[in-house]
A and B are shown apart, each in its own frame.
Chain A
Amino acid sequence: MKSRHQRMIFIGGVAVAMLAAAALAYKAFSSNLLYYYSPTQVRAGEVPADRRFRLGGLVVEGSFERVTGTLTSRFRVTDLESEVEVEYHKVYPDLFQEGQGMVAHGTLADDGRFIADTILAKHDENYMAPELAESLAEAEARAAE
């Protein structure tokens, strides 16, 4: 029967579309997962290549350098065990300061520098990002051993 035939095609089409949509959604999901790494982990080479990730730590006092008159700047980030150099070409959020915690999103360059595309400073005067506090405390515990 023609209408039955039509119905089957319609349902089949919808099913294919839904499968395709699900596959695309899954791909969007997994490619946007941002994992967190501490400077020590970065130094140890734990970050998969070519992957955008979150790097957190304290901004090393005195490490902030700006190429004067431009938007390019660099600083070092530490978890009190290792340091990673960060390069950033945009404007910093208002709460960003040396000696305070920050989290950056970006990728690793070949020479081990972290090129950040987003920087988030702690969002409230009272608190530090928990992942940051944890990793700092762990680093300190390791140093004490």
Chain B
Amino acid sequence: MSSNRANAWRFAIPAIVLGVLAAFFLRGLMLDPAYYESPLVCQAAPEFSLPDLADASRRVGTADFAGRTVLLNVWNSWCAPCREEHPFLLELAASGVPIYGINWDDERDKALAWLHTAGNPFVASAVDEVGEVAVAYGVYGYPETFLIDGDGTILVKHFGPLTPEDWSGKMLPAMEAECAVD
């Protein structure tokens, strides 16, 4: 009887193997950069000063928003998720939230044309030609949005399109509480 039992257990092996694999995959998915907690959270936002998208002779940078809590959004004119979050960014801007943009990996006229057609939620956009600032902020893809407080501390680093749930669920609470890394 007991040898039958042992024999029967071997049939369960494939299911167990699959279960273990699935656990690893789940973990692998959770580790994806979308969920990756950046080491920059609760750190000082790297300073920068870049050419203004609208007027290359002017500069836009951390100095412009020091002392205020702002959103810093990395975007370009051709990434589809950027277009998805665009209407919501316009809403936020209209309700008084200051949003600064970093235009990365794009062409100036295309970027300007897009803002002209779709509406401009940004107080100002900086052009990051080389990508050094994007890298300094650990930007992995687009769009990414940072919540930076008046002291210049990065409170939240959000990867992917910004949804109303992300705003009310992640960003608003972060503004009220002590900066904590999850």
B130 touches A133 (CB 8 A): no
Interface 0/1 of A118-145, CB less than 8 Å to B: 0000000111101001101110110010
- A80 is an interface residue with CB less than 8 A from chain B: yes
- A86 is an interface residue with CB less than 8 A from chain B: no
The complex places the Cα of A137 from the Cα of B45 at a distance, in Å, of: 12
Query: Which residue in B40, B105, B141 is a CB contact (below 8 Å) of A140?
Result: B40
B-side interface mostly = loop
Stretch at the interface among B13-21, B119-127, B131-139: B131-139
What chain B residues lie within 8 Å of A134 (beta carbons)?
36, 138
What chain A residues lie within 8 Å of B44 (beta carbons)?
144
What chain B residues lie within 8 Å of A100 (beta carbons)?
131
Given A100-B131, A126-B79: A140 and B33 interface contact (C-beta under 8 Å): no
Residue from B40, B79, B131, B138 with most neighbouring chain A CB atoms (10 Å): B138
The complex places the Cα of A128 from the Cα of B36 at a distance, in Å, of: 14
Query: Which residue in B33, B39, B135 is a CB contact (below 8 Å) of A58?
Result: B135
Residue of A nearest to B136 (CB): A140
B141 touches A128 (CB 8 A): yes
Interface residues contributed by chain B, number (CB under 8 Å): 22
- B163 is an interface residue with CB less than 8 A from chain A: no
**Would you give the shortest CB distance from A112 to chain B, in whole angstroms?**
24
Residue of A nearest to B39 (CB): A141
Query: Which residue in A80, A99, A127, A138 is a CB contact (below 8 Å) of B39?
Result: A138
What chain B residues lie within 8 Å of A117 (beta carbons)?
none
- A65 is an interface residue with CB less than 8 A from chain B: no
Residue of A nearest to B44 (CB): A144
Residue of B nearest to A142 (CB): B39
Interface 0/1 of B139-170, CB less than 8 Å to A: 11110000000000000000000000000000
**Would you give the shortest CB distance from B166 to chain A, in whole angstroms?**
19
Query: Which residue in A58, A126, A127, A137 is a CB contact (below 8 Å) of B138?
Result: A137
What chain B residues lie within 8 Å of A130 (beta carbons)?
32-33, 36, 140
B141 touches A126 (CB 8 A): yes
- A–B complex contacts, Cβ < 8 Å, 9 sampled: A80-B132, A99-B131, A125-B105, A130-B32, A130-B33, A133-B135, A137-B40, A141-B40, A144-B46
Identify the B interface with A (CB < 8 A). 32-33, 36, 38-40, 43-44, 46, 79, 105, 130-132, 135-142
Identify the A interface with B (CB < 8 A). 58, 61, 80, 99-100, 125-128, 130, 133-134, 136-138, 140-141, 144
The 9 nearest A-B residue pairs measured at CB: A137-B138, A133-B140, A141-B39, A127-B141, A99-B130, A126-B141, A140-B136, A136-B135, A138-B39
